[in-house]
Structure 1
């Protein structure tokens, strides 16, 4: 089969609003050219799959024939060989070692940390105060992930460093991944910020690991679990950095967009308040409430649909027949959660924020992949959704967040959808 070639070049580098519109129009328009389309990332050819069926094949049924793709290669020298980047038997071994950290009983324990952190944050709010909600949610996500990773006094220093450095690592790292190789060697401010931030993070995490080695005490945190499982210092560092980067960005952004969308939709806000009031009855939320907060969970799913990561890349390690095309070892394949989540064949009126769609129908397999799928699906997906639901319920029980007039919120994309800014006025519920 002759694979159709996308018209024009992939608008890969750049982050202006006009460039973002070109990117989204480009990826969304590829469906019209077929189920699988050849694109060029600069000089690099790649195959873009446009249907849920083929996305499911790449990520799940044929997942063993793919490894992480080209854009991830640039991260490895800086964030190591943790679950996000490792491949093959080593990845499977590490996944089995890390998986106990996300068992049901552990999520139940983490829920107390999540609720306490959310209550501590909101207790500092004052009625009528304008809050930078995106920054609040970033700080909250760092606190929650950090306190489940590190429970010692020196671990608190690592959490403080993560608040300062981790979003520099995430944002500037993705810019490097999306840029030609020579860009990272240029004396640019972003490059200097990234190098300094990753050095700071490495130093404090290795210091925490050395401190644990000197005591060899199970503190009940994730770091203790990793080290007791027999990981070397380097392996433990790689997994800690992976959990910090992967575990913070998605939840922080989803929480920001949750409050943005609720504020734009008064009827949805009213229904969330009614559900939270009924389920909680004035007491703090707890893990046992999560299954009862059904509408709240649908709101979270709708946010995860509308604000996902832009692309996932995979590299074939074996020949695969995909949509009539013969993919060879070394070929790059792209799956776009953003394009899939806005596909009108899978989601009616995809541009509309409509939580009730999740009660009406289930999307096709492969159409909704906010945490990936298959053996590379994010291990922390339940952790993340629990954190978002518990935080939303904690805030909604006592507060309304109101957009500041004449300060529009726009989407900025690196790896995921960041708000340009998100000032909101905190208002006590009557």
Structure 2
């Protein structure tokens, strides 16, 4: 392909402010802003403060960035701003270091390992369901987040100190996730201001990292595989050098896995019960599948492939409520969709905007699991709940298994019914959160 344009010819999004650029529009409108860009072109210029970034709005360009030319792109400025706090784990790192770390972490998420985690997932969900009483009003968003914290924590740490860290994560992880996105999108000086949000963020990161280090210290004193992720990471050795991970690398990877594992599954489960309750036909078909396959017994790893309608519901939830914005940076010159992009150029894309593009998803605001019936074909880059290419989320199969197992365990026992007159609104940080999600617990049958 021959370049037909330069970056100077890329259209600029409306709503740019002096000094702040499009930051205020991004923070105020979030989904609305990124979804409005596609009609302007396949590549649109947006300013984060004074920094120009170029939003890829077409699946073709996003697929090129993530897959076809993935080696020509590193993590972008958003990740630069996260890295001092989250460290250089596989979600933040670049190049050969990223490749090495990914090889070291990957065995912890092998399908056989996930199968071993599944009984714990089912027990944890059953304990939560067993703590509810008929007619009780449950804050479902909080309950699902706590469930995901416990599952990820018990997967990572099979120690008493691990249980302490789980409690710390329940308290501080929401602050880390929500305040972190504000920092990433704001001009650099904002992070240095003595404002309450910054103080809460700094304290949360400090407490989490300190607790993680305590667990690492404990783990180094315990030999062998305890069946958890940390013990595998402690024993992992690089094939080329024979070296294991330093404490800093371990801390970075554990914080990365905690952050990624909690937000995705907790939000997906919250929105799943919300959407199922709003669509009686979906609820009826889902419950019928659970009854036929499980017949009242606990769900196992072998059951997951035999729950195809559950899988459709999960896929649709992940389409409707994905991460909002991701960024990459060209590390060499590349031609992107006919535009010559120099090294150092910041490229961004919105999975949410792609997932709600009517060119690929008819009536995208409608919740419809049947859009995922067999035969559904999408262009590469149109559906990215876990990213793609060599940066695809390393825990994607773990997350899909946890969501299916937890939802099936709870859905086999209870219906969760919305409170009359309670409108659920979407709050957006890096992803879509319900503002509040109280639901009434009703026994099935």
Question: CA shift at 1:42, angstroms?
Answer: 2.3
SS in structure 1 of the partner of residue 324 of structure 2: coil
Question: CA shift at 1:282, angstroms?
Answer: 1.3
Count of residue pairs brought into register by the alignment? 426
Q: Decide whether the 8 Å contact of 1:15 with 1:414 is kept in 2.
A: no
Q: Decide whether the 8 Å contact of 2:141 with 2:437 is kept in 1.
A: yes
Distance 2:300 2:222 in 1: 33
Distance 2:377 2:392 in 1: 19
Shifted more, 52-61 versus 170-179: the winner is 170-179
Distance 1:98 1:370 in 2: 20
Distance 1:82 1:286 in 2: 31
Distance 2:259 2:79 in 1: 13
SS in structure 2 of the partner of residue 215 of structure 1: coil
Q: What pairs with 1:313-352 in structure 2 (closer than 5 Å)?
A: 313-352=327-366
Question: CA shift at 1:4, angstroms?
Answer: 2.3
Tell me the equivalent position of 1:42.
Answer: 49
Tell me the equivalent position of 1:240.
Answer: 254
Distance 1:123 1:83 in 2: 36
Question: Are residues 1:381 and 2:402 paired?
Answer: no
What are the Cα deviations for residues 159-216 of structure 1, in whole angstroms up to 9, with x where unaligned? Answer: 1111111111111111211222222222222211111111111111111111122233
Closer, same or farther in 2 for the Cα pair 1:113/1:256, shift >3 Å? same
Q: Decide whether the 8 Å contact of 1:169 with 1:197 is kept in 2.
A: yes
Closer, same or farther in 2 for the Cα pair 1:407/1:15, shift >3 Å? farther
Tell me the equivalent position of 1:280.
Answer: 294
Question: CA shift at 1:241, angstroms?
Answer: 0.1
Match 1:121 to one of 120, 128, 131: 128
Question: Are residues 1:265 and 2:276 paired?
Answer: no
SS in structure 1 of the partner of residue 132 of structure 2: coil
Q: Taking structure 1 as the reference length, what is the TM-score of the superposition? A: 0.97
Q: Taking structure 2 as the reference length, what is the TM-score of the superposition? A: 0.93
Tell me the equivalent position of 2:153.
Answer: 146
Tell me the equivalent position of 2:96.
Answer: 89
Question: CA shift at 1:363, angstroms?
Answer: 1.8
Distance 1:253 1:363 in 2: 24
Q: Decide whether the 8 Å contact of 1:66 with 1:315 is kept in 2.
A: yes
Aligned alpha-carbon RMSD (Å): 1.3
What are the Cα deviations for residues 112-135 of structure 1, in whole angstroms up to 9, with x where unaligned? Answer: 111011001111001100000000
Distance 1:44 1:204 in 2: 36
Distance 1:242 1:13 in 2: 28
Q: Decide whether the 8 Å contact of 1:347 with 1:363 is kept in 2.
A: no
Distance 2:279 2:22 in 1: 33
Structure 1 unaligned segments of length 5 or more: list them: none
Tell me the equivalent position of 1:396.
Answer: 411
Tell me the equivalent position of 2:239.
Answer: none
Match 1:311 to one of 293, 305, 325: 325
Distance 2:114 2:92 in 1: 24
Question: CA shift at 1:260, angstroms?
Answer: 0.5
Distance 1:35 1:189 in 2: 39
Question: Are residues 1:425 and 2:432 paired?
Answer: no
Q: Decide whether the 8 Å contact of 1:172 with 1:190 is kept in 2.
A: yes
Distance 1:198 1:35 in 2: 37
Tell me the equivalent position of 1:369.
Answer: 384
Match 1:12 to one of 12, 15, 23: 23
Q: Decide whether the 8 Å contact of 1:314 with 1:332 is kept in 2.
A: yes
SS in structure 2 of the partner of residue 74 of structure 1: helix
Q: Decide whether the 8 Å contact of 1:311 with 1:334 is kept in 2.
A: yes
Question: CA shift at 1:24, angstroms?
Answer: 2.9
Structure 2 unaligned segments of length 5 or more: list them: 237-243
Q: What pairs with 1:54-73 in structure 2 (closer than 5 Å)?
A: 54-73=61-80
